[in-house]
Amino acid sequence: MIAIDTNILVHAHRADSPFHDEAIAALASLGRRRWAIPWPCLHEFLAIVTHPKIFHPPSPMTDALAAVEGWISAPGVVLLAEIEGYGQTLAEVLGRAKVVGPKVHDARVVALCLQHAVSELWTADRDFSRFRGLAMRNPLHS
């Protein structure tokens, strides 16, 4: 199963993104097969696209929530949330990658993916290269 990181969602949502078309195409390529979005990525998406210091103008919250609803209701989408044993998985990911500070968010995404047997995370964020056990691919530069 493939999981989608925040930055791909942001590029797909924001028509002013230089990678908008590529992100839309990447999501469309998933078709009806099973794919996933970690809940933390949806939270981060909402925080980023509605932030007035990041986008001028920011996305209205109603538009951002409509995008989330569209992804959630897409055929084959699985939302990744914490399940039993998550704390141990997170601790292992943090320890192996020697993560502290803001990178804990990335470790959380990786831990969720590992717990839910995700085989590949689509992201444009090179910071994920520090984590082992989960393949990463940037679908914007295929």
pLDDT at 141 over 90: no
CA 8-17-46 angle, to 5 degrees, is: 55
Where do the structural domains in the chain lie, given as residue ranges?
Answer: 2-141
- The DSSP bridge pattern shows strands 120-122 and 77-80 to be unpaired
Summarised one tens digit per residue, pLDDT across range 89-139 is 999 999 999 999 989 999 999 999 999 999 999 999 998 988 988 999 999
**Distance from CA of residue 78 to its chain's centroid?**
12
* Mean pLDDT in residue range 50-73: 97
- Fold entry, domain 2-141: Rossmann fold (3.40.50)
Q: Closest by alpha carbon to 66, among 46, 81, 51, 47?
A: 46
Summarised one tens digit per residue, pLDDT across range 67-82 is 999 999 999 999 999 9
Provide the b/e sequence for 74-112 (b: ≥16 CB within 10 Å).
Answer: eeeeeebebeeeeeebbeebbeebebeeebebbbbbbbb
Task: Record the pTM.
Answer: 0.95
pLDDT at 46 over 80: yes
* Mean pLDDT in residue range 138-142: 87
Distance CA 69, CA 71 (A): 5
